Amino acid sequence: MNAADLRLPVDVPSTALFTDQYELTMLQAALRAGTAGRRSVFEVFTRRLPDGRRYGVVAGTGRVLDAVENFRFDAGVLGFLREHGVVDEATLQWLADYRFSGDIWGYPEGEVYFPGSPIMRVEGSFAECVLLETVILSILNHDSAIAAAASRMSSAAGDRPLIEMGARRTHELGAVAAARAAYVGGFSSTSDLAAGFRYNIPTVGTAAHAFTLLHDSERDAFRAQVDSLGRGTTLLVDTYDVAEAVRTAVEITGPELGAVRIDSGDLLLVAHRVRQQLDELGARDTKIVVTSDLDEYAIASLAAAPVDAYGVGTQLVTGSGHPTCSMVYKLVARAESADPDAPLTPVAKKSSGGKTSIGGRKWAARRLDAYGVAETEVVGTGPVPDELAGRQLLVQLVKGGEVVGREPLDAVRDRHCAVRANLPLSATQLSRGEPVLPTEYVQEGSGS
Quickly state the pLDDT bin for 448 (edges 50, 70, 90).
very low
DSSP 446: S
Nearest alpha carbon to residue 52 among 440, 433, 436: 433
Query: What is the pairing mode between strands 328-335 and 39-45?
Result: antiparallel
| List of long-range contacts for 104-107, beta carbons under 8 Å, 24+ apart | 104/64, 104/68, 104/396, 104/397, 104/398, 104/405, 105/394, 105/395, 105/396, 105/397, 106/44, 106/58, 106/61, 106/394, 106/395, 106/397, 106/405, 107/58, 107/61, 107/364, 107/393, 107/394, 107/395
pLDDT at 352: 66
Question: Hey, how many other C-beta atoms are within 10 angstroms of the C-beta on 173?
Answer: 12
pLDDT at 14: 85
pTM of the complete model: 0.94
Residue 330 in this model has a pLDDT that exceeds 50: yes
Give the mean pLDDT of the chain.
94
Residue 78 in this model has a pLDDT that exceeds 70: yes
**What tens digit of pLDDT does each residue of 122-181 get?**
999 999 999 999 999 999 999 999 999 999 999 999 999 999 999 999 999 999 999 999
Residue 284 in this model has a pLDDT that exceeds 70: yes
**What tens digit of pLDDT does each residue of 214-241 get?**
999 999 999 999 999 999 999 999 999 9
Quickly state the pLDDT bin for 433 (edges 50, 70, 90).
confident
pLDDT at 355: 73
Residues near 354 by beta carbon (within 8 Å), at least 6 away in sequence: 47, 48
Residues near 210 by beta carbon (within 8 Å), at least 6 away in sequence: none
Return the higher-pLDDT residue of 447 and 171: 171
pLDDT at 1: 42
Do residues 142 and 60 touch, judged by C-beta distance below 8 A? yes
pLDDT at 8: 52
**What tens digit of pLDDT does each residue of 81-120 get?**
999 999 999 999 999 999 999 999 999 999 999 999 999 9
DSSP E strands, 184-285: 189-190, 234-236, 259-262
pLDDT at 353: 66
The rounded percent of the chain whose pLDDT value lies above 90 is 92
Residue 10 in this model has a pLDDT that exceeds 60: no
Return the higher-pLDDT residue of 352 and 250: 250
The three-class DSSP label of residue 216 is coil
Quickly state the pLDDT bin for 384 (edges 50, 70, 90).
very high
Residues near 23 by beta carbon (within 8 Å), at least 6 away in sequence: 130, 131, 133, 134
